[in-house]
Amino acid sequence: MTLRQLTAIQQELSTAEIELAALINLPPGTVLKLDVPAEMNVPAWELSLDRMEELAFLNNADLREQGYQSRITVNDTRKAIARLFPGITFSTSRQYDHNSFLMDNHWYEAGAKLSWNLMNLISARTL
């Protein structure tokens, strides 16, 4: 440890008793006495240390969030690439006209529309 780290630890420990008293709502100036057991035994663990480390790594919220963010980024990239392709729209409709002079007042329409935004091609270099 460097001297700077030791100084930082000493500063933290110097205020630890005051912070503990504030956390447990003791009035200022109260003498704090901690009851430390005579024997402190290490509990028996059911899992090995390697398995505990592996589980801690797998359940790390920060790493899980990074995984989610990377999947979101990949999906956004795919959407941006899909916007570069032309859009195809199909439409169908049934029409009616109240004009009694028409031979056929009912008809059907069908259509297909192909659109391509040229601005997407220009901005594609920035993707």
Sequence spans of domains, the chain: 1-34, 75-127
Q: What is the pTM of this model?
A: 0.41
Residue 125 has pLDDT above 60, yes or no: yes
The total number of residues shown for the chain amounts to 127
Supply the pLDDT for residue 33. Answer: 84
Q: What is the pLDDT of residue 34?
A: 79
* Closest C-alpha to 123, from 88, 83, 86: 83
The torsion defined by the Cα of 42, 45, 48 and 53, in degrees rounded to 10, comes to -80
pLDDT tens, residue by residue, 55-112: 999 899 999 999 999 999 999 999 888 777 778 889 999 998 888 888 888 889 999 9
